[in-house]
């Protein structure tokens, strides 16, 4: 029988930080998921989301700060990539419109050539 896992920390946004029971990978979930089982993103094994505890471990503030920094960095990179994708989508749309115009012009010129020959 497995021992219940205690959370490492809880941040001000209501997220629960804990480690996977199998690979010790740090995980972050909404506190509303306490008591549920989820698959670890790293190892894929089912992991019990711990219930909230008032006594986080002594290393939790350091881990919490590190995880928050990594999450902010990740979000920043996601925003940057999303911006690039949006720019490229707009450019692709412009090129498609240009190609459509050129194809229409080609059709017109071919019809004109057939009429003159």
Say how far apart CA 19 and CA 40 lie, in whole Å. 9
Q: What's the structural domain count of the chain?
A: 1
Show the domain range for 47. 1-57
Residue 36 lies in a domain: yes
Tokens describing residue 112: 């004109």
Q: What confidence tens digit (pLDDT) does each residue in 47-66 have?
A: 988 886 544 555 567 777 88
In a domain, 25, yes or no: yes
Question: Is pTM beyond 0.95 here?
Answer: no
The verdict on residue 27 lying in a domain is yes
Distance CA 26, CA 46 (A): 14
Identify whether 63 is part of a domain: no
With respect to residue 71, please indicate whether it lies within any of the assigned structural domains.
no
- The reply to whether 35 falls in a domain is yes
Is residue 37 situated within a structural domain? Answer: yes
**CA dist., res. 56 & res. 97, Å (int):** 58
What does the alpha-carbon distance between residue 29 and residue 25 come to, in Å, rounded to a whole number?
A: 13
Say if 70 falls within a structural domain: no
- Per-residue pLDDT tens for 70-116? 999 999 999 999 999 999 999 999 999 999 999 999 999 999 999 99
Tokens coding 33: 């998921």
């Amino acid at each position: 029988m497995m021992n219940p896992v205690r959370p490492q920390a809880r941040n001000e946004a209501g997220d629960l930080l804990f480690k996977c029971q199998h690979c010790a990978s740090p995980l972050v979930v909404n506190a509303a998921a306490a008591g549920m089982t989820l698959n670890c993103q790293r190892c894929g094994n089912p992991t019990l989301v711990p219930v909230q505890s008032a006594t986080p471990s002594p290393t939790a503030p350091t881990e919490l700060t590190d995880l928050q920094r990594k999450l902010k960095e990740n979000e920043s990179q996601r925003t940057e990539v999303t911006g690039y994708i949006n720019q490229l989508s707009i450019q692709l749309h412009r090129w498609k419109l240009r190609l459509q115009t050129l194809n229409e012009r080609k059709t017109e010129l071919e019809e004109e050539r057939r009429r003159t020959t």
